[in-house]
Amino acid sequence: MKKIGVIGAGSWGTTLANLLAKKGQEVTLWAHEADGVLEMKKTRVNSLYLPGIKLSPHLCFTGDLEEAVSGKELILAVTPSQVTRAVLGRALPHISESAVIVNASKGIEVETLLTMSQVCAQILPPSMLGKYCVLSGPTFAREVAQEMPTAIVAAAADKRVSLTVQETFSTGYFRVYTNSDVIGVELGGSIKNVISIAAGISDGLGLGHNTRAALITRGLAEMARLGAAMGSQPSTFAGLAGMGDLVLTCTGDLSRNRTVGMKLGQGMRLGVILGEMRMVAEGVKTTQSAYNLARRLNVDMPITEKVHQILYEDKPARHAVMELMSRDLKSEET
C-alpha cells in the first residue's frame, strides 16, 4: 500500500483516484471547489464531473492542498495544463523530496511553450526531477471508471520510476505500459487534442469519413514532425500515446475537443461553446501554444495552423478546409 495524493478532482483525477483506492492504496483527492469536497464526502459521487459513478469508501477527500500532499509517496497531478505550474508550485513546499511525481495533464503552457515535464524542470528541485513520470494514452475517464479494458503509457527518464508507476496503477482492466520518451508521450497527448478539434469541425461540416481519416493521418504526421524537432522517438507516435490517443479523441463521442470542433463546424461561436462547457477542452489553449511552438521551431503543421485561424482569427471553417486541400502538392514522405 502506498500513500498517494491526487491533485485535481475533475473527471480524470477522480477516476484515477478511485481506481487507486479500489486497488487498496491510501488515496487523498484534492478538489478546488469546496462544494465538491462536501458532496463527495457525503454522497460518494462527483456529480459535476463523474455523475453516476459510486466512489470507493476508502477514498479520502480534502480541499486543503497541504493535507492532500503531505507525507505522500506518490503525487498525481491532474489539473488543467495551464494552471499546473501554479497549483504544483503551491503544493511543492509540502511534498516530500522522495515522492514520485506523476502528471496526467495534457497540454503545452501558452506563455512559455513548455510541456509539463519542462514546466516541472523549472519548478522542482534537482533532487525531485528524476522522479517525474507522465501518464498518457487513449482514455475516456467514464469508460475507465466503468472498468472497461484500457491501455495507457507511463513514461519516465528513469526506468525504475516508470516501473513503479506501472505497478501502482495497473489493474485487471487498466494495463500500463512503460516508455522512456517523456517529451514524445507529452506531445502525443497534447497535439492530439488540436487534431481532434479539426476532426470535429469536419464532422460538424458533414464532410464524411474520408475527410476525418485524412485529418487523423496527416495530423499524426504533424505530431511526429514536431516530436522529431524536439528529440522524440518516431515509434512513440505509432503507439498508445500517439496514434492510440489520436484515434480515440478524433472519433469518440465522449471527446470534449471533438465536441468543440463539431459545434464550430455547425456554426456556433467559440465563446458560446466554451460558455456551455463545465469541463476544460485542453485543445483550445493547446492550439495556440502548438501553433506558436511550430513557428518557433520552423515545423510545418498546416492543420494546426488552420485550427488556430478558425479559433483565434475567425476564419470560416469551410474556407480553412478548402485552403488545406489546395496547398501545393507534395510527397507523403516529406
Which residues are tagged catalytic?
192
CA–CA separation, 202 and 304 (whole Å): 14
Q: At what angle do helices 84-91 and 116-123 cross, to 10 degrees?
A: 40
Amino acid at 236: T
Give dist(CA 190, CA 136) in Å, integer.
10
> How far is the C-alpha of 207 from the C-alpha of 332, rounded, in Å?
22
Grid cell at residue 192: 492530439
Task: Select from 8, 87, 62 the least CA-distant residue to 279.
Answer: 8
Our measurement of the distance from residue 278's CA atom to the centroid of its chain's CA atoms, rounded to an integer in Å, reads 16
- Please give the angle made by the CA atoms of 58, 62 and 66, to the nearest 5 degrees: 120
What is the bridge-based pairing of β-strands 3-7 and 60-62?
unpaired
Contacts of residue 325, defined as CB under 8 A and 6 or more positions apart, other chains included, come to none
Sign for the pseudo-dihedral over CA of 61, 66, 70, 72: positive
What gap in Å lies between CA 108 and CA 290, rounded to an integer?
A: 7
Give the residue carrying C-alpha cell 503545452: 108
CB–CB of 303/218 below 8 Å? yes
